[in-house]
Every structure is written in C-alpha cells, then in structure tokens.
Amino acid sequence: MRAPPGNLVEEVMPSVFLPISNDAAAVRPIGRRPWWLAAALLITTIPTLAIAQTTDQAPPAPPASTVSTNAAAMQPPEDLQFMPRTDTNTGGSRDTEPPWSRAVDDAVQARALWYLHQGLSKHKQLLFADAAALYQRGLKHWDHPKLHYYRGLALAKLGQHLAAYESLSRALSGPRQALDADERAFAQRTAQDLMAGELAAVTVRCATAGAAVSINGKPWFVGPGIQRKIVSPGSYSVEVSKADHVPVTRLTTVRGGESALIEPQLVHNRDAVHVQRRWSRPLPWLVTGAGLLAITAGTGLFALSSHHADEGRAMLASDCSSNGPCAQNRGLHRFERAAQEREFSIGLLAAGGGVLLVGAGMHYLNRARYQDNEEAGGSRMELVPLVGDSAAGAALTIDF
C-alpha cells in the first residue's frame, strides 16, 4: 500500500557525545591491586554503563514506507490547519475559521486533537491497532475528516478492509477544506485499491413501493429505489418482503473486485399461484343439488303413498261389510296406487342418495390444487422409448 503523505510525527534524534582524551600523560599504568578491588570496580561499572546506554540511545527510525518526505507534513497541534485560531490574549475572533469548524468548542477540538496526535505517535511506531483506537476516541469528541482519514489508513494496515473503506469514505464526504489535496488524492487512491482487490459490491434494484429490503437479516432500505452496498467478499442473502406479497430471497456470492446486481420482483398472493381443478366449480354443486332434489321428491312421494294407503283402508271399511262382498272397488284401487307411489318414492330416495354421494365425492376430488405460475402449464405428453433384450416398445405419459 502506498505511503500516506506527510510525516506522522516529528523525528527527534538526540546526539550522543562520548568524551575521549588523547593525552598520553593521562594514561598511567595500573600497578598490582588486590583482586577484590578489581571485582568491586567491575560490579559498580556495569550498571552505570547499562543505564547510560539506555538513556542515551536514540530511538530507531521508522521504515521509509511509513514516513513521507512531503514538506507540508502534519506538525504538532499549533501548526494544524484545523486548529482554532482564537487569540484569547488579544480578543481575537473565530471568523477566520471554516463554518464547519466554527460551531465546535475550543475545548472539544483540543481534546480531539490530543487523541489525534497520540494516535499519530502510535501510527509511527507501527502500532496500528492502538492508533485506530485513539482515532476512534477522538471521533467521539469531534467528527473530523482527518481522524477518519488516519483511522482508515490504520485499519487498512490491520487488514480490516471494509472498516477502512468506510472510514476513508467518511473522510472524503466531509468538507473539502478538512483534507489537503495530497491527503484527499491518497484517500481516493486507497479506497479505489481496496475496491479493486479486497472488497465487493452488492446492488439491489427494487421497483415495488413499500417493499422492505434486508441483507443477511439486517434491514437495508425500503423500495422503490436502487442501493449499492460495499461488502467483504463472501455469500450474501438478500430478502425482499411486503404485506400480501410472496417474499423473495436471492442468494449471491461475490469475490474481491466483483459486483452483483439483484432485481427482485414481488408478486401479490392472488397472482402468485395457478389454481387447478378437475371440473368446473359449478358441476359438483349441480350434481349435489340433483341428488338433494331427488331425495326431496322421494320423501314427498313416500308421504303421499302413505296417505293414499290410509284412504284405501277407509274406503274398504265403508264399502265392504264383514259378512258380504264389497259394494265398490275404490279401496283396492287406492291401495294399488299407494303401492306404486311407494315403490317409486323408494327408487327416488335411493337414486337421490347415490347422486348425493357422487356430488360429495366430486367436491372432494375438485379441491383446488395450487401451483406456481412458473411451473403451471397445459397438457403435457411424454414419450419414452423402452428397449429390452427380447422386446422393444414405448411408454406414453399424458398429463391433463
């Protein structure tokens, strides 16, 4: 990744001077001394040398890839371009500050700047996790594009590419005066590099008004509209739902540098399925009605036959004496008519009951069968050849 413009922190390299004497007279031979005196001198000299080496040694210079040689590098707080320019001693005005900075209190700005420079110090030491955490703390005080900018660079070093892209995008979407030209150009190039190889995009175009779109179970936006989301490479599930509509789920897998376009089409529940029946809906009702009508007619005719039989008994009682022949045959005729009516009524009842059972069966067989419109079709005929060792033929399948 390219090195960001500007030095992260000021280099401080203290000089170390070691006094050395060239006077030969100062060098005197050391005579014999007791061995314990030499050991004592050695023991007291070693810690002193170690302490001197620790305090005088200059810190190691950072790698060249982390420090830029740009002359317009960010300096300590008094040199920062977004530092408040109020002179409290002379009663200066903040009118020279940009409008987006003028509304932020001086104390809040100073706190955010302190976190910024602490983060820059960690950044220079290649402690990117600590630097990103400090930048994030500074953003809680002041949502400044420079904090987003350096946080994005630190997160990119940590391999958190999606978070880095989001921070850089926030930095670029802020006021143009907050970043200088070099920083803005570098942020744009870094974001483009991340999109080219480390990130992907998922775009959803939804034309249904009021449709709720979510990705991996998290709400995204409400249609109609088109939205583009930057994501890490992987598999994603896009769900689109609306009341009284069949929900749609689309799965997509994107790799680094790729972009996926999803255009879900919601269908109303009444239009989502194709209803199939064996017969038209009135036919089973007509059969059932015919059966009920036959049963009703048979019941009425059975009652009429019973009435005619009672009349025949009464006529026989009045026309025939107990000891002689009948004067008339009216009663016999009534009995014969009643018997015929009863036989016919029983036939009607039996037929009506059978027709009623047929109607009930037709109702059951004529239940609605739902099928997706995409799968629905008309009659289908399939011919499959069958070839055996000693015979050959074909199997014909017809769906209707």
**Three-state secondary structure call for residue 261:** strand
What does pLDDT average to over the chain? 74
* Parallel, antiparallel or unpaired: strands 259-262 and 200-206: parallel
β-pair partners for 326: 320
Residue 4, pLDDT score:
60
* Parallel, antiparallel or unpaired: strands 225-231 and 234-241: unpaired
β-pair partners for 213: 221, 240
Q: Are 7 and 65 a contacting pair, CB within 8 Å?
A: no
Residue 188's pLDDT band, with cuts at 50, 70 and 90, is very high
**Three-state secondary structure call for residue 150:** helix
Instruction: Name residue, tokens 């037709």.
Output: 362
Q: What angle do CA 142, 147, 151 make, to 5 degrees?
A: 135
Q: Which of 61-65, 114-118, 133-137 has the lowest mean pLDDT?
A: 61-65
Residue 25's pLDDT band, with cuts at 50, 70 and 90, is very low
Overall average pLDDT of the 227-242 stretch = 94
- CATH homologous superfamily of 1-9+103-197: Tetratricopeptide repeat domain (1.25.40.10)
Overall average pLDDT of the 286-305 stretch = 91
Residue 382's pLDDT band, with cuts at 50, 70 and 90, is low
Largest CA distance in the chain: 187
Residue 391's pLDDT band, with cuts at 50, 70 and 90, is low
Q: Which fold has domain 200-265?
A: Immunoglobulin-like (2.60.40)
Overall average pLDDT of the 160-180 stretch = 92
Instruction: Give the contacts of 315 (CB within 8 A, at least 6 positions apart).
Output: 328, 330, 331, 334
- Taking 90 as the threshold, does the pLDDT of residue 333 lie above it? no
Per-domain residue ranges for the chain? 1-9+103-197, 200-265, 278-367
Overall average pLDDT of the 291-315 stretch = 87
| Residue count of the chain | 400
Residue 108, pLDDT score:
87
Overall average pLDDT of the 349-370 stretch = 87
- Taking 70 as the threshold, does the pLDDT of residue 326 lie above it? no
- Span 66-109, pLDDT tens digits: 333 332 333 333 443 444 444 434 344 555 667 667 778 888 88
Query: Residue 205 corresponds to which amino acid?
Result: R
Query: Residue 164 corresponds to which amino acid?
Result: A
Q: Say what the pTM is.
A: 0.50
SS3 sequence, 345-365?
Answer: HHHHHHHHHHHHHHHHHHHHH
Residue 21, pLDDT score:
33
Instruction: Give the contacts of 354 (CB within 8 A, at least 6 positions apart).
Output: 291
